[in-house]
Amino acid sequence: MTVGSQVQGLLISLKSIDATLSSLALKSDEGEAREAFHQGALKTRSVIKEIEKRKGEIEFEEPQYQQ
């Protein structure tokens, strides 16, 4: 498994986590829980952006990792 495919797998997992947290935030009746899920989703999106940026750098620097 190449670094590129590992990073892509990580992004898929993170996007799934984001979707789950967002869904839980919408379904939660308790305000504190809703806010916690929402904050978790926002942090996850921030991580996704950073990983996508790093993936682009990896692909630029190491063409063999492009998929």
pLDDT tens digits along 33-63: 999 999 999 999 999 999 999 988 888 877 7
Tell me the torsion sign for CA atoms 61, 12, 35, 33.
Answer: negative
Stated pTM of the model: 0.84
Cβ–Cβ < 8 Å for 46, 17: no
Whether the pLDDT of residue 3 is over 70: the answer is yes
Q: Percent of the chain having pLDDT more than 70?
A: 91
Where does the pLDDT of residue 23 fall: very low under 50, low under 70, confident under 90, or very high at 90 and above?
Answer: very high
- Domain range list for the chain: 3-62
Q: What span, in angstroms and rounded, lies between the C-alpha atoms of 3 and 66?
A: 9
